Structures are given as structure tokens and as C-alpha cells.
Amino acid sequence: MSGLQPVRGTHDLLPEDSRRHRFVEETAFDVAKRYGYGEIVTPIFEFTEVFSRTLGETSDVVTKEMYTFADRSGDSITLRPEGTAGVARAFISGGLTQSLPLKVMYRGPMFRHERPQKGRLRQFHQVGCELLGVDGPQADIEVISMAWRILAALGLSDKVQLEINTLGDAESRAAYRAALIAYLEPLRLSLSEESQARLQKNPLRVLDSKDEEDKRVVANAPLMGDSLTPAAKDFFDQVTAGLTALGIPFVVNPKLVRGLDYYCHTAFEFTTTALGAQGTVLAGGRYDGLIGQMGGPATPGIGWAAGIERLSMLVQDLPQLDRPISIIPMGDTLPALVLADRLRAAGLSVDMGFSGNMKKRMARANKANARFAVILGEDELARGAVTLRDLDAGTQEEIPLDQVEGRLTGA
């Protein structure tokens, strides 16, 4: 069958793309280890309720974007659209309350049926962290600082901007909700149908609307900062003071919100303009009410997730790969295979030139950026020797076959 293409919104990670992805992942996990985070791996599909209860029955993700299907047992199953809900479910079902504080990192594919665009796919990949069991601002400072250090380790500190806001405590949110409804209700007919439906049930979601008319209506809406209790303001002041003390630059964005009720206090995003229009590459916040809402014990939490595709597009300089040794057999290949096996066992990267004349095999060695070429000709092998060519210096010499490993490993 000709013309086979990947499904719209998906793509193949060919070796160079995969190397970029792996660099982002491994950099994130390497930094996270310094903060004491371990890896958690949850299934890529869950019972649909795990996501519908946590993301909100009326959210765009639940109503428009989730890949949901009935399995052969008739259960409603959903491919995970994000990572936090699965981690929270694992915390509850795994009985991990005795492990608090719990500090975990995750990585892997997520699935959302949305319009594909630059850096946004229907199967995309994220790396993220969750810190459960710490209700003080020091947790917020830690997870944000870890995100900043990861982005800096990727060489992106000059390409991203940290935007931060507070969503306040429960009392602050109740006051803000009332103020927002009082502002929006007289303007109800100017809102989109979707926002009209959300107005009483979840008015903060109106602030998230992508509808241009909705954006115009909410441009002069009251801000959360005007409804903060003294305790909530003090919490946010401690977070910003901590970031300042750590030398992490940020701007306060009073319009940065999270619509679901279990979010509270700190919300933040790292944005960039390096991919065209301003876009978010890493986002997170505090969600003290999530695990309780899912049926678990009341447990504070904060975390973030980053899109690996977008970060990969921003990364400029990948670490140099180990330069291989190119082995070029010009007769019997068995001695070459034995030598290659010995060199790999000694920790060296080896590229085998299987076919072609000498010119083509040397071209392959140069394309692979090989440091040395080991040529096994029939005449040399008859003398128990090989030709060792230094591809940087352009020199070569004949050495005994049994000395090759020592020469190349410096033994």
C-alpha cells in the first residue's frame, strides 16, 4: 500500500528528533534528582472518571479533546490528556499517604484531539513534576526554581519569561467569584454561548476564553488581587520574595488564572516568543483541593508540566555524541565482528562499514564523525595486523591486531 502517512496530529521521532527529546527528558530528570525527585510511571489510559472529575465536566479538554472509548468490558477508558490526574489517582490507590511529602517526576505521551499547529500535536510528550504534602510557600518556590534550573540547563533562560499570579485561598476565591459575576452578569448577552453557560457555574473559566468578544468583555474585569485575604497576600509575598532571593526573574501577570476550584494560591507559566506568537512551554500551579475532590484524603499539592516538543524546538546546542570507531573489513568480516564486539565491551562506540568499496566506506566513517578507522585487509590479517587511521590527523600506521583495544582505550 503506497502513500502511508502518520495519523494527523502525530509524527515519528526519527533519530535526530529522538535525540532532542531524550536530551530534554534526561536534562529535566538530572536536575530533578538534585531536588530529591523520583520517577513515577502511570498508565497511558485511565478510567474516564479520573479525568472528567479532575479537569471539570465542562472543560474544553473533557468536552472536545479527550480520546475516550468503551473497552471490551464496556468500561469508559480515556487516553491521558495530562499527567497530574494519573499521579493523584496513583497516590490514592497506592495508599501513599505515609510517604508524604511525595516528590515525583513523570514523562511520556499525552493525547488531545485538538487542531494541530506548530509545537502542538494530538499525541504529544510532556515531562512534569508533582510535590504532594507540603502546604507552605517553600514548596511553590522549590518547584518553580527547579523548573527554572531545568530551562537554564537546556540553555533557554534567555528565551523564556516566568509569569506568576496568585489565585488566593478559598475565602479569596469566593469573594473574587462574587465580584466577577457582578461584573459579567450585566454583560451576559455580549458573551459567547459557552461563556454564558459557564458564568454562574464557573465564572473564572470565562477569563480563559479564546473567543475574541469574550476577551474584549473581560479586559476590564476585576482582578483576583483585589479580593485577596491578608493570609493569601502574605503567602504570595513569601513566594515572590523566595524567587527574588534565588535570583529567578519573573513578572506578575494578574490575568493568569486557573478555572477549576481545586486550584489555589500560586499559578505560573514560562512563556516564549521564540516560536512565533507567544506560547507557553511550561505551566503549573498549586492544587490543594484536587486529591480530596478525587475521594482521597485532603492533601496539598503543587506541580508543573512542560511540552517536550516545544522545548526541543527551542534547544540549540545538543551535547556532542561520543565519536565512534569505524571498522572497515575488506575481506572476511568475521575478524571485524570479533574486534567490534571486543571494543564495544570495552565501552567504545563502534560503527561497522559492511559494504561498498574503500572510498564509500571511508565516506561513511567521515559522515559518522569517526575518530579512528580500523582497516582489516586480507594482507594485514595474514600478518596478524590492522591499519589504524587517525581521521583527524590524516595519518595511519600498521599495528598488531591484539593491540588495537589497548591503543583505542588508552590501556
389/380 Cα distance (integer angstroms): 14
Annotated ligand binding at 112? The verdict is: yes
340/354 Cα distance (integer angstroms): 12
- CB atoms < 10 A from the CB of 391, how many? 19
Strand order in the sheet with 385-390: 350-352, 325-329, 372-376, 385-390, 395-400
Q: What is the CA angle 23-29-32, rounded to 5?
A: 140
With left for phi above 0 and alpha for psi between -120 and 50, is residue 100 left, alpha or beta?
beta
Annotated ligand binding at 82? The verdict is: yes
Cβ proximity of 102 and 130 under 8 Å: yes
ω into residue 101 within 30 of 0, thus cis?
yes
Annotated ligand binding at 46? The verdict is: no
Annotated ligand binding at 287? The verdict is: no
Annotated ligand binding at 194? The verdict is: no
Cβ proximity of 111 and 80 under 8 Å: yes
Annotated ligand binding at 258? The verdict is: yes
45/80 Cα distance (integer angstroms): 5
Annotated ligand binding at 377? The verdict is: no
Annotated ligand binding at 183? The verdict is: no
Annotated ligand binding at 58? The verdict is: no
The number of CA neighbours under 13 Å toward the Cβ of 193 is 0
Q: Residue positions in the annotated binding site?
A: 82-84, 112, 126, 130, 258, 262-263
Q: Residue positions in the annotated binding site for L-histidine?
A: 82-84, 112, 126, 130, 258, 262-263
